[in-house]
Amino acid sequence: MADDQLSQLKQMTTVVADTGDLDAIRRFQPTDATTNPSLILQAAQQPERRARLADIARRATDIDAALDAVAVEIGSEITQLVPGYVSTEVSAQLSFDTQATLARARSLIERYDRQGVPAERILIKVAATWEGIQAARVLEREGIHTNLTLLFSFAQARACADAGVTLVSPFVGRILDWHKAHDPQADFSGDRDPGVQSVRHIYEHFKGNGYETVVMGASFRNSGEIQALAGCDRLTISPALLEELSETRQLLERRLTPLDAETQAPAPQDDAEFRWDLNEDAMATEKLAEGIRKFMADQRKLEALLAELRQG
């Protein structure tokens, strides 16, 4: 009988836990872990963390400092459980401000350093707007690794690779959501899944042109999407789907294989070309804006929680 599919997947893809749940990370033993405002909010609401977070909130100079301190506190705990990267996100409110993103990213790295966590263990997550990508370009030159998130289009992926970012996170499930909402009768199963097709296109472009940027599929709606992307550089997976894979004993076929670079990379996009190509993609334009709004909604809930703890 074949090993469980999670074990098989780990033989061909770096598995990343998409959670702030320490128990889930201990159980599934991923290589890396990713967090975002929604996951940090979930972790912060756990009763056993309340006293510690209250202390952090009261010590912080303002609510922004409290937010970053909490993210670094949880991220530092996670670094004790995984051997690889931990992703920590810059506030989505800064998605269109390159200089503010740079300042916040550097501050997060400094906070990690004070916790004894070196910069090479951290991926700074930044929304894949033009401004975010330009901030990532600078950070990478400074030796700060980046994870460009909320990525829905090939235009975003191209710009990220041109900027030399460490990793991109195409959002498979949210791409599928948009297409299902706009064409509910269509068959998007298996290889017809537009999110799966998007990641494959990005992967083939990066490998075919010699880009070193890592492709990490994210935001999965079902295990079929993960199975269809087996062999991708990295896949970040929720605890529920990690559980499902660990209980499935069928053979897992490798679907993506790195190829030797065969073509010369196209000329980098400029600001105008990037914005036009993104504008031409209704799905990516809508999902990027929606994703920023959703992350900010959860950030505001976390701000309210920390404000309450500061006063307690």
Report the C-alpha gap between 104 and 122 in whole angstroms.
14
CATH number at residue 263: 3.20.20.70
Mean pLDDT of each 10-residue bin along the chain, 312 residues long = 90 94 93 86 82 88 92 94 96 97 98 97 98 98 98 98 98 98 95 97 93 97 97 97 96 90 76 97 98 94 88 75
**Structural Rg of the chain based on CA atoms:** 19
Report the C-alpha gap between 153 and 201 in whole angstroms.
10
Nearest Cα neighbor of 53 from 76, 69, 34 is: 69
- The predicted pLDDT at position 261 comes to 64
Does residue 262 contact residue 206 with C-beta atoms inside 8 Å? no
Residues tagged active-site: 125
- The predicted pLDDT at position 262 comes to 65
- The predicted pLDDT at position 223 comes to 97
- The predicted pLDDT at position 39 comes to 80
Query: Which tokens sit at 193?
Result: 């899944």
Return the bridge partners of 167, or none: 147, 214
- The predicted pLDDT at position 211 comes to 93
The count of domains in the chain is 1
Does residue 34 contact residue 147 with C-beta atoms inside 8 Å? yes
- The predicted pLDDT at position 308 comes to 87
Count CB-CB contacts under 10 A for residue 173: 16
Task: Give the phi and the psi of residue 184 in degrees, each rounded to 5.
Answer: -65, -20
- The predicted pLDDT at position 163 comes to 97
Report the C-alpha gap between 144 and 120 in whole angstroms.
7
Nearest Cα neighbor of 134 from 277, 271, 36 is: 271
User: What is the distance, to the nearest Å, from the Cα of residue 131 to the centroid of all Cα atoms in its chain?
Assistant: 17
User: 107 lies in which domain range?
Assistant: 5-311
- The predicted pLDDT at position 119 comes to 97
- The predicted pLDDT at position 85 comes to 97
